[in-house]
Amino acid sequence: MKFEKSIKLKDLAKHLECEFEGDPELEVTGINEIHVVEKGDITFVDHPKYYEMALKCPASVVIIDRKVEKPDDKNLIFSDDPFTKFKQIIVERTSFAPATKSISDTAKIGKGTIIQPGVFIGENVTVGENCILHANSVIYQDTTIGNNVIIHSNTTIGADAFYLKRRIEAYEKFPSCGRVIIHNDVEIGAGSTIDKGITGDTVIGEGTKLDNQVHVGHDTVIGKHCIIAAQVGISGIVKIEDFALIWGQAGIDRNLTIGKGAIVLAQSGVGKSLEDGKTYFGSPAGEAREKMKEVFIVKRIQEILDRLDKLEKDK
């Protein structure tokens, strides 16, 4: 998320009531989650496991919970609770206005687009030309939809990211301020859900088709002309490259890449990134031929044990 107006590092640190180290005159231009940061952004880290990643990421400012040696290209803000400070910055720069009508006055609807009864379209939504939004689909604020897009009934686009901070007493919700961007010629099946980015964008590429009841997590970027079958669950921060094909009920863990033209067979559980152009199966998913061999061997285990038992008895 980019700020409407940049703020100097010294002023931001003072507002947060935190010490800082770095260039006091640095102009901070945005705030982003660590996976989508750019130069000028501020991000946060509150676990030693991710210190190195945060200190090497493109962000110009890092809110961190421990005094560490400052890299030359970084500016640091120190806080006992970086999550809360990061959240504060977002909350102060975002707002939620309750809807007063089904289609917001700020929404822009393109020529030839058909909107069926019961559709909700929120603030600052853009819908392109020749689209069809079927009954009871819901488009949250700030969503951008291209031309020739079909969205089937009871689909929700732009719901909050499933992003929580574990506290001793409970889980704390993190506010989502990202968007969903849907490119031209996309079709999204009935009952599907596409979450907005935490601070960046969730993207559905041109020509991609989603079946019914597909879930796409926050900040996931799906490439062009992908096919995703019913009941597939895609976690946050996943990159699915062009022409990938994911069959029904497959599950994909967070922060992975599915290579160009890769095929994930039904009910597979993907726990690591997959290479281009290969077919995968199983849980954990592996190359389909090898996994099929494993299944065949497992099926024969009892037969092999029986043969060994017979040989032992015949001695």
Domains of the chain, by residue range, sit at 2-93, 108-288
Name, of 212-216, 279-283, 310-314, the range with top average pLDDT: 212-216
Average pLDDT for residues 271-300, to the nearest whole number? 89
CB 50 within 8 A of CB 91: no
Answer yes or no: is pLDDT of 311 > 80.
no
- Rounded Cα distance between 293 and 287, Å, is 10
pLDDT tens per residue across span 69-93: 999 999 999 999 999 999 999 999 9
Please list, in sequence order, all residues whose beta carbon lies within 8 angstroms of the beta carbon of residue 40, skipping any fewer than 6 positions away.
Answer: 6, 27, 28, 29, 30, 60
Report the range of poorest mean pLDDT among 9-13, 97-101, 104-108: 97-101
What letter would DSSP give residue 166? E
Position 102: which residue type?
A: S
218 in catalytic set: yes
CB 216 within 8 A of CB 205: no
- Rounded Cα distance between 242 and 178, Å, is 23
Structure pTM?
0.90
The CATH number that domain 2-93 falls under is 3.40.1390.10
Task: Please count the residues of the chain.
Answer: 315
CB 79 within 8 A of CB 65: yes
pLDDT at residue number 120 = 98
Position 62: which residue type?
A: V
Report the range of poorest mean pLDDT among 139-143, 163-167, 222-226, 272-276: 163-167
Element (H, E) at 43: strand 41-45
Average pLDDT for residues 241-246, to the nearest whole number? 98
Candidate CATH numbers 2.160.10.10, 3.90.1580.10, 3.40.50.800, 3.30.70.20; the one for domain 108-288:
2.160.10.10
What tokens were used for 80? 């006992």
pLDDT tens per residue across span 29-66: 999 988 889 999 999 999 999 999 999 999 999 999 99
Short-list 227, 225, 251, 254, CA closest to 239: 254
Catalytic residue among 35, 215, 218, 225: 218
Q: What percent of the chain has pLDDT over 90?
A: 85
pLDDT at residue number 315 = 67
pLDDT at residue number 297 = 80
Structure confidence at residue 256 as a pLDDT band (50, 70, 90): very high
Structure confidence at residue 280 as a pLDDT band (50, 70, 90): very high
- Rounded Cα distance between 14 and 71, Å, is 22
pLDDT tens per residue across span 145-192: 999 999 999 999 999 999 999 999 999 999 999 999 999 999 999 999
